[in-house]
Structure formats: C-alpha cells, structure tokens
C-alpha cells in the first residue's frame, strides 16, 4: 500500500519536473508546446475516490501554474478533466468501467487512445480558452488547441510506450 503511494508521488513529481524544466521550453512554431503533465491524471487508477481525484488534479495544475506564473488556468483545466473523467472512462471503456474491472495498463490500445485523446482535447480546449479569455482570437485558440493536442498526444504515447506506465 505504501509503495503504491511512493510510486505515485514520484510520478507526480517526475512529470511536473519534466513539464516545467524541459517541455515548457519546447516551443514549436513559436508558441506550441506539449502538456504531458496530464498523463498522471489520465493514468490514475479508476477506483480512486472522486474527491481525492479532484484534490490531486487541483494540486497538479497548481504546481504547473506556480512554475509558469499562469494564474490558475492549468489548475482549472485539470479540475475540469478530472471532474468529467468518470464519464469519459465509461464512454471509452463501457462495461469494464461499470463493473470496476478496468485496468488502464491492461486495456486495448485503441480504447486507451480514444480515452487519452478525449482527455487531452478537453484539457487543451479549456486551457486555451481560459488563457486567451477572448473569442476575438478564435483562430489562434483553435490553432493552439490543434497543434498542442497533436504534440501532446505524440509525447504521451511515447511516454506510455517507453515506460509501459505500470
């Protein structure tokens, strides 16, 4: 039991450090970077208590906001995806989630990819809408969502394949 908590703490800290020290310095086309820190929330066990999930998500986003001085947009975006996570799990995995038999590390890749894609897309949509806070820049918001989504998706798949995220 204690070992599982230690592993999750190390994953939490490792992904925050990876994000703020390395990935936030990657600016493709001058403004697009991957946000792989949400991988921690995506791959948390499906049996986690919902209130604990929301607290973890808030602190996950707050850590990124503190390092990036972004005023809470990451915390709000991670809270949103954590709040709708059970619905997305049910949508992606169906009965496996309903009967608590779902293990994300042992699911088929197609269902996992659908789940990850929905989580990343929703996170990025809210993140960039909150960041720009104006629909006068709609074209730029959509471009950021699309390019960051693709880059984040590629990085998350690489990380899952590299570390087999178990």
Looking at residue 73, which CATH number applies to its domain? 1.10.1760
Which residues are CB-contacts of 40 (< 8 A; sequence separation ≥ 6)?
A: 11, 12, 15, 60
Say how many domains are in the chain: 1
Residue 115 has pLDDT above 80, yes or no: yes
Closest CA to 80 of 48, 121, 45, 115: 121
Residues 6+ apart with CB under 8 A from 84: 122
| Model confidence pLDDT, tens digit, residues 10-53 | 777 888 887 888 777 777 777 788 888 898 888 888 788 889 99
Measured distance CA(148)–CA(67) in Å, rounded: 19
Q: Which domain holds residue 113?
A: 2-163
Q: What is the mean pLDDT of residues 73-88?
A: 92
Question: Which tokens belong to 3?
Answer: 């070992």
DSSP string, 40-98: HHHTS-TTS-HHHHHHHHHHHHHHHHHHHT-TTHHHHHHHHHHHHHHHHHHHHHTHHHH
Distance (Å, rounded) from C-alpha 90 to C-alpha 83?
A: 13
83 has a pLDDT exceeding 90: yes
């Amino acid at each position: 039991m204690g070992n599982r908590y230690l592993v999750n703490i190390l994953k939490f800290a490792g992904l925050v450090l990876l994000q703020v020290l390395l990935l936030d310095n990657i600016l493709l086309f001058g403004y697009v970077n991957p946000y792989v820190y949400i991988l921690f929330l995506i791959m948390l066990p499906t049996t986690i208590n919902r209130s604990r999930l929301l607290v973890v998500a808030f602190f996950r986003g707050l850590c990124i906001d503190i390092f990036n001085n972004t005023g809470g947009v990451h915390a709000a975006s991670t809270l949103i995806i954590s709040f709708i996570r059970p619905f997305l799990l049910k949508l992606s995995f169906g009965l496996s989630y309903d009967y608590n038999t779902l293990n994300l590390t042992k699911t088929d890749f197609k269902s996992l990819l659908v789940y990850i894609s929905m989580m990343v897309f929703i996170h990025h949509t809210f993140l960039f809408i909150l960041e720009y806070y104006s629909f006068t820049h709609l074209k730029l918001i959509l471009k950021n969502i699309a390019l960051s989504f693709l880059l984040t998706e590629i990085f998350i798949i690489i990380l899952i394949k590299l570390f087999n995220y178990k």
